[in-house]
Chains A and B, each alone.
Chain A
Amino acid sequence: MLHSKLLAILLAATTIVTPGTPQGSSGAVAAPEYDPSRPSAQANPDGSISPRPQSQTRSTRSLSACSRYSAAGPIGGQWSTSGPGCSLFGLRGAKHTYSWEMQWFSNAKACVQGRGYNSRRAPYWAGIGCGSGGAYTVGWGEVISTTRVKVKSLSVVTNAPIWWS
């Protein structure tokens, strides 16, 4: 039931929604975080992402632009939340695999968390690895949301810049 509704939601959201004004054809359908100007993709049950059908997107950014973002754990060892990544439209049972690596010029180490959604569409944060890189798959079923990570440098005297997707 939700699957067919979600497809209707995707169509409605991509043609009607503007940032910060979540609404759609049936009243309230788009997530507050959804931003049609950002790169967007479809999250699939096998953990992959794929381009959304042209009929469902007005994004001018390609899927490749959805693939890699920069973030950094700051000096001082605090956790830092990244900016928004890719807008992912999760099909039923969809998963998303976060991956990250240290930027080439840094020999720092970091720990990284990524946001996902469980089988009842409740949010959770998962550890996606510590050290110089890592990957982890989280749930993304029937949610329209933006990927985000939190990064912490394992050194208090150097920051930890990463690439993540």
Chain B
Amino acid sequence: MPSHEDITLARLVAPVCVVAAAALLAGCTSHDPQPRATLTPNEPPSPASIEHMEQTSRSLSRRLRCSDATVVTSDLTFFDDARGFDCFSADGEPIFVRVFDESNSVAQVLQDWGPTLLDGRTVVTGPNWFAIGPSAAIEPVTSETGASDASTNIPTPVPLTASQDDANTCIRFIVSAAGQSATERDHFAQMELELDELYPDAAARIRELVEPALAHDIRTAGGIESASFLNILEPIASDLRLICNLTTD
């Protein structure tokens, strides 16, 4: 399996020309779906929403000068589906770009990012996206429609509904457990009974999904603290989300 670290910006940029050309020919931008303001946790995004997120991500990637990009096809730190990429500025600082299906998700996700906005790291927000990185590196995305200035201020979130909060906490817990099943088997084993009490059959499902090769990749990367941990889990992201969907319906 190719390493996600090997995915380059070329993979992001290559389809852009095709999409841009198609957009020009079809004049499709006026029909782009708008980000939703409210989202039912278990409702998957429509194909049109996915296309819109990917198109926004490509547009942002064209504006940024960064390297060693890793494509993000599912942000497993949040219940809302997302697209985006991680890459590095010219001076080697990480840049994170996330595009969400729901407009409210931006402020909600940024609450945990606030404490990392140090040492020149800032955030630019758009209607349903954000970019985090050194000010100078992310400045170009302020030209996007509806973009804020680069700042260390994070927007005030609309509180999550109870069901969104439950779905959100579930996916974080399941993702963490998936990592721990690979790196800390004793810790995972101690949690199995209670994990199944929380989310029926979750432990067995995680053992099944985190098969030996994937577990090896997680261990090699350095576990859940590793920057590439969530990228490694992307092939099973929808299955991990399904564990939460089945128990929070």
Instruction: Identify the A interface with B (CB < 8 A).
Output: 2, 5-6, 9, 22, 26, 28-34, 78-79, 109, 111, 113, 115-127, 129-131, 134, 136, 138-139, 142-146, 150, 152, 154
B5 CB-CB contact with A under 8 Å: no
B115 at the interface (CB under 8 A from A): yes
Residue contact B119 to A152, C-beta cutoff 8 Å: no
Contacts of A124 in B (CB 8 A): 77, 172, 176, 224-225, 229-230
Indicate if the CB atoms of B118 and A143 lie closer than 8 Å.
yes
Known: A126-B176, A129-B187. A154 touches B114 (CB 8 A): no
In the complex, what distance in Å separates the CA atom of A79 from the CA atom of B77?
A: 16
B146-180 Cβ-contact flags toward A at 8 Å (1 or 0) = 00000111100000001001100100110011011
Residue of B nearest to A32 (CB): B114
Closest 7 CB pairs of A and B: A130-B194, A145-B115, A123-B112, A31-B115, A28-B152, A79-B169, A125-B172
Q: Is the CB of A118 within 8 A of B225?
A: yes
Contact across chains for B77 and A143 when beta carbons are under 8 A apart: no
CA distance A6 to B113 in the complex (A): 17
A134 to B154, CA, bound (A): 33
Q: Is the CB of A9 within 8 A of B118?
A: yes
Q: Which residues of B contact A125 (CB under 8 A)?
A: 77, 112, 169, 172-173, 176
> B195 near A121 (CB under 8 angstroms)?
no
Extra pairs beyond A125-B169, A130-B191 (11, CB < 8 Å): A22-B152, A29-B119, A32-B115, A32-B152, A113-B173, A118-B224, A119-B226, A124-B176, A125-B112, A125-B173, A144-B118
Expressed in whole angstroms, the minimum distance between the Cβ of B177 and any Cβ of chain A is 5
Would you call B198 an interface residue if the criterion is a C-beta within 8 Å of the partner chain's C-beta atoms?
A: yes
Residues on B with beta carbons closer than 8 Å to the beta carbon of A134? 190
Q: Whole-angstrom distance from the CB of A25 to the nearest CB of chain B?
A: 12
**B113 to A119, Cβ gap below 8 A?**
no
How far is the CB of A18 from the nearest CB of chain B, in Å? 15
Q: How large is the interface on B (under 10, 10 to 19, 20 to 34, 35 or more residues)?
A: 35 or more
Produce 1/0 per residue, B107-119, CB < 8 A to A: 0000011111111
When distances are taken between beta carbons in the complex, the residues of chain A under 8 Å from B180 are: 126-127
A123 near B116: Cβ-Cβ < 8 Å:
yes
B6 to chain A, nearest CB (A): 17
User: Is there an interface contact between A5 and B198, defined as CB atoms closer than 8 Å?
Assistant: no
Q: A118-B226, A125-B77 are in contact. Are A2 and B173 (CB under 8 A)?
A: no
Chain B nearest CB: distance from A112 CB in Å? 10
A32-B114, A129-B191 as given contacts; A119 in contact with B227, CB under 8 Å: yes
Q: How far is the CA of A33 from the CA of B114 in the complex (A)?
A: 7
A79 x B176 contact (CB < 8 A): no
Residues of A within 8 A of B117 (CB): 22, 28, 31-32
- A126 to B191 alpha-carbon distance, docked (Å): 13
What 1/0 flags go to B215-230 for Cβ under 8 Å of A? 0000000101111011
CA distance A122 to B116 in the complex (A): 7
Interface residue B74 (Cβ < 8 Å from any Cβ of A):
no
Q: Are A119 and B225 in contact (CB under 8 A)?
A: yes
Whether B173 and A127, one on each chain, are in contact in the complex, defined by CB atoms closer than 8 angstroms, is: yes
Residue pairs across A and B with Cβ atoms less than 8 A apart, 15 shown, are A9-B119, A31-B118, A118-B225, A119-B222, A120-B96, A124-B172, A124-B225, A125-B173, A126-B224, A127-B176, A130-B195, A131-B191, A136-B187, A143-B118, A154-B197
